[in-house]
Amino acid sequence: MADKQSSKEYSSDKIKVLEGLEGVRHRPAMYIGSTSKNGLHHLVWEVVDNAVDEAMGGYCSVIDVTLNKDGSVSVKDDGRGIPTEPHPVYKRPAVEIAITKLHAGGKFDKGSYAVSGGLHGVGLSVVSALSKHFKVKIKRNGKVHEQEYSIGKPIYDLRVAGKADENETGTEITFTPDDTIFSTAKFEFSILATRFREIAFLNKGLKINLAEEETGKKESFHYEGGLTEFVKWINKSKEALHKPIYFAKKEGGTIVEVSVQYNSGYQENVLGFVNTINTVEGGTHVIGFKTALTRAINDYANKNKMSKNGNLTGDDVREGLAAIISIKISEPQFEGQTKTKLGNSEIKGIVDSVSMNALTEFFEENPAIARKIVNKSLEAQQARSAAKKAKELIRRKNAFSVGGLPGKLTDCSSKKSESTELFIVEGDSAAGPAKSARNREYQAVMPIRGKILNVEKANAIKVLGSEEIANIITAIGTGVDEDFKLEKLRYSKNVIMTDADVDGAHIKTLLLTFFFRFMPELIKNGNIYIAVSPLYRVRKNKNYYVYSDGELKSLLAKIGEKAEVMRFKGLGEMDPEQLWETAMNPKTRTLKRVTIEDAAIADEVFSKLMGDDVEARKQFILENAGEAVIDI
């Protein structure tokens, strides 16, 4: 029980009131999700979302985003320009109020924006609060206005900096993130490009230009075909089964826009957007579409007497599906400021009704495509039934093996999953030193025999029938697909440890493809890692471990060419001490956590690397050959 003295000390003067934007700096993650790479890029999304809102209103056609050499970012649009007139209540310029006060903005006035992504009126104020320098330039009413801020506070009053053409309007914002807040202040071109591509697809006709001064990289995103082009882009490295299905309808104040195209693969890729915001956790709009799709396909199958084994499930009809559901509404209810899930209950019924009517009509008018889709779903139903039997077989087999675990697994003694690690290594030669090197209390080792099955080219029956894959599933303990249960996870870190050569890289990619397709929750939860094993050992007075040819060149230039240099051909060539020191000891090793930054990009990467399109794979490898690591 706490002593009475401490309760006396907890008096009214201990209650802190954080004025203005102090709360944002005190708890930034509440507003932008995190202070890591994701939170940093979220600053750009907030500024760009404002420009996109102008585009959705029909006032903006071009957005220019520049990564400047000094680490700042500039976002320029040709919209109406943020109002510069004095605010009727605060008697300060409206732009200053929008930048310095939370929950202030045009999004609350229904006359200003019919729909908007930047809903909460906190975007610009949060960005200015978390930036050591923030500058706004506005072209409006024939003048160029400007004002600068530091950590959310104006450096000087809004001033007129020049003249503009009477018809020339727009806003340009340049900000430098506060590096005392963020773990990294470096923006990544590829992350920005992915989001801007989505925005351009979702707003046909809008052009977004992205440039990086330091590297000279430039990319433009502009799609007149909108969602139809988006779904074709998702399927570009796959074999599409039919032309895209597209429909759009306005129901009351809600605009529903959907594009659907099946491919010959086995993966589902359904992306939901609300006012161009990527709702990565889905929501009522996605549920409404999925419900309608299942019902429409079942109705067609039953009406045409194609179904023999009962109704198709949602999983059956979504195998090989690529779909975009984009809705635009005036008052979206998102779960949290970072807008990852839509909560509006009425939207489910609207999207369900619109999708059901449109899909039924399309199937009636295009019977050849409808039959292709139904037949694909029926094949999925049969495969799912066979896969269920395969899973049962895995469970029964495990029940009869010692402790229900695969015989090849060398387990650790601890049963506390939060502190245990599983090293998946290639072959018995690597397993030998790994077993000797490990800490037996919390590190387990499981060898796999060579290259596992490429799950990108196989259906569920073949995947689950593979002994190597069955062993991995059993060792990890969570099950797969609908049987997946995170609470049954046996190891908090599941580490892929392969040789630092081409074959090792291939095995690593095969394993990552398996985890991405069958256990994506483990990647999302941060349980999949890659061990970084050395390419060389350099000995001169002491041992140096080197992880790339470039690093070797730098080291030899530093310590002198007369060194004994040994190239490791594989993990099996390392003695246990070397392996422990370089790849397994938590104090000295480097582990890379695998993350899914964006589902559409990750899906495309795996489809290109592991699919049937040889030309797409060659092109991808050529474009990315200079990259040391591909983040997935």
The reply to whether 4 falls in a domain is no
| 333: CATH | 3.30.230.10
What was the pLDDT predicted at 615? 63
Asked if the model's pLDDT at residue 174 lies above 90, the reply is yes
Across 151-198, the runs of DSSP E, i.e. the strands, are: 153-154, 159-163, 170-177
Same domain, 372 and 424: no
Confirm if 617 and 611 have CB atoms less than 8 A apart.
yes
Q: One of 421, 499, 603, 604 is an active-site residue; which one?
A: 499
Closest to 21 in 3D by CA, of 134, 102, 88: 102
Question: Which residues span the domain enclosing 334?
Answer: 227-384
Where among 384, 419, 444 does a domain terminate? Answer: 384
Structure tokens at 72: 């700042």
Q: Has residue 434 been placed in a domain? A: yes
143 and 158 Cβ atoms separated by less than 8 Å: no
Query: Catalytic: 352?
Result: no
How far, rounded to the nearest angstrom, does the alpha carbon of residue 605 sit from its chain's CA centroid? 12
- Here the tokens at position 563 are 């060194």
In a domain, 360, yes or no: yes
The burial of 467, by beta-carbon neighbours within 10 Å (0-12 exposed, 13-18 middle, 19 or more buried), is given as middle
Q: Is the residue at 629 inside a domain?
A: no
13 annotated active-site? no
Give the model's confidence band at 12: pLDDT under 50 very low, under 70 low, under 90 confident, else very high: very low
Residues 197, 300, single domain; the answer is no
530 and 496 in contact (C-beta within 8 Å)?
yes
Count of beta carbons in the 10 Å neighbourhood of residue 303: 12
Band (pLDDT 50/70/90 cuts) for residue 548 is confident
Catalytic residue from among 70, 179, 346, 503:
503
Please tell me whether residues 274 and 413 are part of one structural domain: no
Summarised one tens digit per residue, pLDDT across range 561-584 is 777 888 887 788 888 999 999 999
Q: Mean pLDDT in the chain?
A: 86
At 114, the pLDDT band (50, 70, 90 cuts) reads: low
Residues 185, 254 within the same domain: no
Residues 55 and 134 in one domain: yes
Is 41 a residue whose pLDDT tops 90?
Answer: yes
Same domain, 466 and 524: yes
> Are residues 306 and 249 both part of a single domain?
yes
Distance of CA 537 to the CA centre of its chain: 36
Lowest mean pLDDT across 112-116, 436-440, 506-510, 513-517: 112-116
With a cut of 70, say whether residue 290 has pLDDT above it.
yes
pLDDT at position 557, please?
A: 87
Could you confirm whether 503 is annotated as catalytic?
Answer: yes
Tell me which of 314, 349, 384 is where a domain ends: 384
- CB-side neighbour CA atoms (13 Å) of 573: 13
Q: Look at the chain and report how many structural domains it folds into.
A: 3
Once rounded to an integer, what is the mean pLDDT over residues 191-200? 94
CATH of the domain at 456: 3.40.50.670
**Selected catalytic residue, list 281, 501, 597, 612:** 501
Same domain, residue pair 238 and 148: no
Catalytic residue among 426, 581, 598, 603: 426
Going by pLDDT thresholds of 50, 70 and 90, the confidence category of residue 382 is confident
Q: Are strands 73-77 and 536-540 parallel, antiparallel or unpaired?
A: unpaired
Q: How much is the pLDDT for 7?
A: 36
Per-residue pLDDT reduced to its tens digit, 472-488:
998 999 988 777 899 99
Residue 97 lies in a domain: yes
Residue 323 shares a structural domain with residue 456: no
Among 198, 222, 246, the domain boundary falls at: 222
Overall average pLDDT of the 169-177 stretch: 97
Same-domain check for residues 475 and 587: yes
Annotation says 499 is catalytic = yes
In this structure, the answer to whether residues 361 and 231 fall within a common structural domain is yes
Note whether residue 217 is domain-resident. yes
Would strands 73-77 and 131-140 be described as parallel, antiparallel, or unpaired? unpaired
Say if 389 falls within a structural domain.
no
| Averaged pLDDT, 232-249 | 94
Distance of CA 313 to the CA centre of its chain: 27
Instruction: Report how many helices (DSSP H) and strands (DSSP E) the chain contains, helices first.
Output: 21, 22
CATH number for the domain spanning 100: value is 3.30.565.10
- CA 576 – CA 572 distance, rounded (Å): 9
- Tokens 């039924």 locate to 360
Give the pLDDT of residue 541.
Answer: 82
* Whether 358 and 453 share a structural domain: no
